[in-house]
Amino acid sequence: MGCSVLELAEFYANCMVTDGLVISEVSGKKIQFDAKKLGEILRILATGFDLYVWEDKSMLEKVRLLELAKKIGQQTRLQTPQSVKKGDMMSLHQLFFRFIIKSVISWGQGRNLADAMDQCFIGLMDREVQINLPTIMICHIARIANTTREHDLGYEFLLTRVFEHFGVDLQKKVGVQIIDTIGSNTLMGCGFELATSEHSASEQGHHKSFPPVPSRASSEPPIEVLLQDQTRLKTELTAVKEALAEEKAQNAKGHDDLLSLLSTLSTKLSPLAP
């Protein structure tokens, strides 16, 4: 459950960010946190990659950006770094991109181009490098709160936990409908090997088989790391399910429109009665 739009808007309207410290007020309750405190509230580590750039990408290495654009856009002959269309990415990178614009640098719907910053995050996730989400969140919150440009009010569900931590009485919580529409094509496109059965074999009989993703040898991780990974995976899965639900709805609409068109043409082409 998430907070209402009015409570989220009040947070951003009252928000000030100075030297990494966020100060705001919602429903008369003062809210104040830095990256360390935000990490404690969200139960995630405030360590890892924390570079946040937007207009000026000069802080990112040009050679590395070119490598990322080639790999993520699957264009080996590319000469200069450029934005990458979501449709040009492999399935796993599309899922990473979706998670980034929904949870890391929160954006509204309809964004299909991955810029240099997005590609940098995709590369980090691909290499399993930790991202300092609390610090990135605070930088992005500052950008949203201190600009005249129109922005989506991001981090609705993460900030709900923050509001509850500081005792904000949320008048109306908004639920999220999660539909399990992850199909075999998506999983196989990400390199997973699906278990076969009489039912699944009939559904995916003609699909190409992919090898399983190789596991990496490592020592037994502590329980805290496992819990953090579980939380991260749940968040990613939610973003994936939302993306696939949208795609399913669009496909259904296109199918209905096609049937309507065929019905209209059939009526017009029917032979006249003698």
Q: Which domain holds residue 168?
A: 1-47+155-174
208 falls within a domain: no
Which pair of tokens denotes residue 263? 């019905």
User: pLDDT band at residue 20, thresholds of 50, 70 and 90?
Assistant: very high
Instruction: Please write the tens of the pLDDT for every residue from 188-246.
Output: 666 567 666 554 444 444 444 444 444 444 444 556 666 666 677 767 777 767 777 77
Instruction: Please write the tens of the pLDDT for every residue from 157-198.
Output: 889 999 999 999 887 666 554 433 445 665 666 656 766 655
pLDDT at 101: 84
164 falls within a domain: yes
pLDDT value at 23 more than 90: yes
Determine the Cα–Cα distance for residues 223 and 234; give it in Å rounded to an integer.
17
166 falls within a domain: yes
pLDDT value at 24 more than 70: yes
Looking from the CA of 139 toward its CB, the CA atoms found within 13 Å total 13
93 falls within a domain: no
22 falls within a domain: yes
43 falls within a domain: yes
Q: Give 228's contacts (C-beta < 8 A, 6+ positions apart).
A: 43, 44, 45
Looking from the CA of 132 toward its CB, the CA atoms found within 13 Å total 16
DSSP strands (E only) in the chain: 16-18, 21-26, 29-33, 84-85, 113-114
Count of domains in the chain?
1
35 falls within a domain: yes
9 falls within a domain: yes
